Structure 1
Amino acid sequence: MSKAVRYRRFGGPEVLEVQEIPEPHAAADEVRVRVTAAGLNPMDWQITTQPDMAARFGITLPAGFGSDFAGVVDEVGAHATGFAIGDRVYGAAIGRSVAEFVLVKTPAETLWPTPERVSDEVAGVLPVSGLTASAALAAIGLHAGDTVLIGGAAGGVGVFAVQLAKLAGARVLGTASEGTFEFLRQLGAEPVAYGPGLADRVRALAPQGITAATDLFGRDAAETALQLGVAPDRISVVADGPAPPPGVHTAGALDAGPGALERITDAIRSGDISVPIAATFPVERIRQAVTTQAERHVHGKIVVTL
């Protein structure tokens, strides 16, 4: 038997259970990963509370939980390719990552070797957030000299978007609550409080105007950018939120270009990107971990260990 977080009805953290399930084994074209760390994302708890969102990902009840993971390959099917027993890996498995074992078919598009000097805790938070941030910035063609407004800059995707934008040579204004301002400054962003009056506060910070925007939480930053004269095709929003204004790009992890995660891990290894881990919880405290993540007041990522 093995442990896995599962739920039998839709709802909040209270529906999540750590269950004993039959230990899965790799089929001929699969590898099995013994999971050591799983990063949480807003989409994980949104899927558990929104049946329509779960349906978009093909998830039906009873269901597993989580998307991102890192660990070690411990079984390789007879016809599986690309990985060997003992390889450190990280990847994405929507609806089943918070479990002792994850099965991945090969050739694998959502499993990558974990680079040396990158811990499992860091690797285990990268796929969804890192790919989403990369896709959101690529959609607006961000380049050196831009002044970009990033909505939700202190969140799990925002910490990557801020740093990737800085590496691209852009000036970054990031919306957040005042309690996260110093945290954002440490990442290289100029913080600005979200909420009513955002356009005026952005004008005060950037009197010459902004040239691009990406909204990683809600639509406040996108609508403000339009109000400030930014062209719709230089604005992006994440794909799992409300419908965007006309002409604005939507972007999600699946839209990221080839090599996006490799570039991020290279930047982590070189010290150009830091990955703040706000808190780590053992799997037995999964409900507390999800509650903490869903409150959106943490500075960085939440990790569940197994």
Structure 2
Amino acid sequence: MKAAIIAPDGSFTLAEHLAPQTTAEAHLITVTAAGIGPTDLMRAKGFFGPVAAPYVPGGEGVGTLADGTRVYFGHSIAPFGAMAEQTLVADAEVWPCPAQLADDQVIALAISGTGALIPLEEARIQPGDNVLILGATGPVGQIGLQIARIMGAGHVVAAARSADKLAALKARGLADATVQLGTGDDEQALKAASNGGFDVVLDVIYGPPAEAAMRATRPGARMMSIGVQAGQTVALSLRDLVFRSHIGVGTGQRPAAERRAAFERLMAMAADGTLVVDTAIYPFERANEAWAAQAGSPHAKIVIQH
């Protein structure tokens, strides 16, 4: 079968790969679309530990079972990834997806959506809360802005580096205010936009922006950190944290049943068009371009279609 391959030296190529075979515990899925995210590139670079190569990258996608049922999957069985004509997926990871949503929207709302939904649920947004989405222009951030509003947030602020993308989010009504990071004093800019201090922060990027965001919160605030694109450490004093909570949230490592329940909640929200995420779709033959685009920190969910 045709597949994207990560070679032992970390290079990305399109080549022929041995096709998977179904087993009693796993489903053979014919892939119609595959998603690429930051974790796929991090895995290829060994961020999560050594990876046996060559392998097919990509964990999530949409496809069909042997009986024609259309399904979403979030984890495939190595070395078979989503970026191939077929993949192998454990039974617990195969979830039906709504017919009214296109493949790219299902993928955009799945792992990225869970990354926004679970932390915001655990942050217990209260009606009228001031909410900051730090790293708002990517898929997780876009979904976070919308979910915060659905949960009753009264003042929603989007912060990121791209002025154009921030302006687009505000024009769509997804944010009440925006803060362009990296152009001056982030802490003061966030405080000025916070409407008296943030109650909840969904932090997708960590690093120095997270430090500035915590200092723009008010007592009782909850910061939920789920990404490290801006740095893997922060320097916060005890004074910064007094009467505040800072929690590192993992979503992909949770049991399949818990992730599936979150996926189903997201699909229910999106069924009427309430949730919309920007996507960038590439044909399978241009998968190398899609991989390179993800490395460039796109402000959209990268999807490869067959």
TM interval, short-chain normalised: 0.7 to 0.9
Aligned to 1:82: none
Please give the secondary structure, in 2, of the residue aligned with 1:36.
strand
Q: Does 1:104 align with 2:89?
A: yes
**CA positional deviation for 1:239:** 5.3
Distance in 2 (alpha carbons) for counterparts of 1:67 and 1:258:
15
The equivalent of 1:184 in structure 2 is: 169
Residue aligned with 2:169, SS: helix
Other-structure match for 1:302: 302
- Equivalent residues of 1:183, 1:299 under 8 A apart: no
Flag structure 1 segments of 5+ consecutive residues without an equivalent: 75-84
Could you give the per-residue CA deviations for residues 116-174 of structure 1, whole angstroms, max 9, x where no partner exists?
20112222333321111112212322232111111110112111111111111112111
Residues 88 and 102 of structure 1: CA distance in aligned 2, closer, same or farther (over 3 Å): same
Q: Which of 159, 169, 173 in structure 2 is aligned with 1:175?
A: 159
Residue type at the aligned position of 2:179 = V
Distance 1:295 1:231 in 2: 37
Corresponding residue of 1:134: 117
Shift of 1:8: 1.6
Q: 1:86 aligns with which of 68, 74, 93?
A: 68
Q: 1-side partners of 2:73 and 2:260: how far apart? A: 15
So what's the TM-score if we normalise by structure 2?
A: 0.85
* 1:194-213 correspondence to structure 2 within 5 Å: 194-195=181-182, 196-213=184-201
Aligned residues with identical type, % of pairs: 28
Structure 1 partner of 2:5: 6
Number of equivalent positions? 284
Q: CA deviation at 1:233?
A: 6.5
Structure 2 unaligned residues grouped into runs of 5+: none
Q: CA distance change for structure 1 residues 152 and 10 in 2, over 3 Å: closer, same or farther?
A: farther
Query: Alignment partner for residue 248 of structure 2, among 242, 247, 250?
Result: 250
2:110–2:266 CA contact under 8 A, matched in 1 = no
Distance 1:227 1:65 in 2: 39
Q: Which residue of the partner structure matches residue 53 of structure 1?
A: 48
Q: What is the DSSP-based 3-state SS (H/G/I as helix, E as strand, rest coil) of the residue aligned with 1:64?
A: coil
Rate the CA distance shift 1:143–1:32 in 2: closer, same or farther, 3 A: farther
Tell me: CA distance 1:233–1:200, structure 2 relative to 1, closer, same or farther (3 Å). Answer: closer
1:20 to 16, 22, 26: 16
Select the residue among 192, 195, 205 that pairs with 1:217.
205
CA distance in 1, matches of 2:69, 2:208: 43
Structure 1 residues 232 and 257, CA gap change in structure 2 (3 angstroms): farther
